Structure 1
Amino acid sequence: MTRPTPAERLEAIVEQGLCIGCGVCRSIAGSDTVAVTLTETGYQQPVVIGELDHSTVDTIYDVCPGVRVDGPTGAAAGRGATIDPVWGPWRRIVRSWAADPDVRYEGSTGGVLTALGQYVLRTGLVDVVLHTRPSVDDPTGGEPTLSSTEADVFRSGGSRYGPAAPLRDIAEVLDLGRPFAVIAKPCDIAALANLARHDERVDELVRYRLTMVCGGIGPPAFTDGFLERIGIDRHDLTAFRYRGRGCPGPTRAETAVRVEERHYLDFWGDDESMWSLPWRCKICPDGIGELADIAAADTWPGGSPTRDGSETDPGTNAVIARTTAGLELLEAAARDGALTIECDIGPDDMSVYQPHQVRKKHAVAPRLAGIADMGRITPRFTGLRLDELAATSPPDVNERQRAGTRDRIRIGKATEPTPRARPNSPS
């Protein structure tokens, strides 16, 4: 059997539905070899544009969070942290929000991540913050940005459910040699942890890793369906907000001549069964951000808002301080007036607010077994207690998860086309 070429090996990650569009592969291979760009599917995906070798692809496989996530070790899982079977290492969990009412109002939930991004700049703990802002080319997506002022962080606040590639330029950011914080999805934070094995500058320069507890990104086709229902063409958009200005606040689409707002649930649907997620999000081992210093979550009992009250709810985050650095940052931000802490809570409260995370954490191991049954690339997810959690589920439940995974693969629900750049797509 002929060995796949380096390009085919990289493309296989995308074709088998494992790419989450973080962009780290571009920094590993070099921008003259791999472009991370909008493809024909609407995702940000790697496209090979130069000579790629097997050694580089080996490194990409070791770093790509689509195929490898290792749970926290060392300081993150060491003395002083409690390890919850589902929620992982934690030192303190609180209900909190941004003390600045404007930050709280504009933020996705209670504005905690925005407030922390501003705080680390204001106090000189970092020089810049790497996060995402709305894309200039496609307002439903995002693009990486470096913020050096509190105003920059504020302008880039809010959820990005569309493609964003926040680590596309991480090599260039590390080349600056300046201490920085990262605000990104848990899978992006996992990519950073993987990259640190190959580039010691990651641990030297990334002072804070901040994340949201993530239910998954929205497929571009799902967003297109929403826009079609409200009668707006994606190409006419001048701005798009998934949520914010209340908790969750409205989903808002703007063109040059009109504005349409709908309830957040009109975008996602009224219950979890209506969510449309990429395949990699359905097998996510760490939507809760175990590798971050701080993770911030929604606090809706049952895991979803209702249709009453989002206009007047100012928003409250559940905030997990996982590391010593995260705990010190949380408490300093509260002491200095950047955050308001309402009360302490625990993992049981998190399970009430985020029951879908509990269900997924139990389901990952049998889903991985289903992938292996089909002879596909089977992601390496270690140190996250996945087998132990699966062992607490009834055998028939695990078998249904395993068989359901095989069925999804057979009918093409876990498959993407070979990535091809859209004409004139920026890289």
Structure 2
Amino acid sequence: MSAFDLVVRSRRAVTPDGERPLAVAVQDGRIAALAPYDEPPEAAVRTDLGDTCLLPGLVDTHVHVNEPGRTEWEGFATATRAAAAGGVTTIVDMPLNSLPPTVDAAALAVKRKAAAGQCAVDVGFWGGAIPGNVPALRPLHEAGVYGFKCFLSPSGVDEFPPLDDAGLRAALTEIAAFDGLMVVHAEDPALLTEPTGPGYAEFLGSRPGESERRAVERVIDAARDTGARVHILHVSSASCLDPLEAARRDGVRITAETCPHYLTLTADQVRGPEFKCCPPIRDGGNRDALWEGLDRGVLDCVVSDHSPSTPDLKVPDFAAAWGGISSLQLGLPAVWTEARERGHAPARVVEWMSARTAALAGLTAKGAIATGRDADLVAFDDTAEFTVDAAHLRHRNPITAYHGRTLTGVVRATWLRGRPVTDATQPFGDLL
């Protein structure tokens, strides 16, 4: 009998110790052994990738699946197929824009029932913190959510209202009592205005970077006073970097993320409402500063913030259109395209999009090619180019800000716990 179920060989396997030739042996869904590339152990199936990179599966902790309730926007079947096609083997679903929102244990049960049997990758769930649901937070934590999302400004949907300062502190006090995690959409509503016109310049002016910085400072103060763990979502403004860095020096338990669209796109490249997101895409100098913050570790990780909608909600202009970018399948090549131009190696992208995101959610079996971890693996051709055609993506609706853009990096194969994920396979992702 073969010693292992699967062996995948690559001369460029990306591990926590760096990129090196390796044979990764898999047994019962876990990485059972790491062997020299030239001395692969016996296995029922052996795959040789040659010089194609072997990465750990990415962990995307910021995905809006929207099912149930708004499944026409997206759904577990389509979202997880898109994830697998993009090298993402684990997603954590946001508590909105589904109906009901995941703000109590009963709503989580509804969400899990909707997801069951549909998922091509592993799926976890965030809970929500909204006005009046502090008593529901501990039961949600005990039911298995990875943390709680709140907004400080309007979320865009009436059923998920924002927290004011008193509500934020009350929720953080409760979450700190069981050492949970709060993840925050940080824009200060006092500095947000309605766009004065239909164009992108007016939309960008209505959501200034100072609104992000002011909100981040509010979260820092509340986290310092309550001792809670907090995480800042989708940082788009480099003005947030200094207060984040100072807070960490002071011992505040705070982390932060950014997104592919803030790292790869700039305001002068915006064409139409498919580029609209909140907070918005800013100028090139701001983008450079975000890269510097990521390189220094002030920003911990990169996630998609995949926030899709139907085409009719992406018209007619920036003032009226739904704010959200569909990018779940494209995050890896988008980030890699820009990262390689800036001198980064694939190992840094793995750090930002797999290791640190897994750590954020406490997914100890994910995020690395290492013995004992889940055998979530990705064959990534880091030199191949392709031009994005929205119609050929696995997302439910053919809309993305990357349409027509040439990216570098193609996912050739994805394994979830040692099993290949293809369009032909029946979904076998777990609900975490």
TM-score (norm 1): 0.27
Select the structure with the greater relative contact order (CA < 8 A; seq sep ≥ 6).
1
TM-score normalised by length of structure 2: 0.26
> Larger % of helix: which?
1
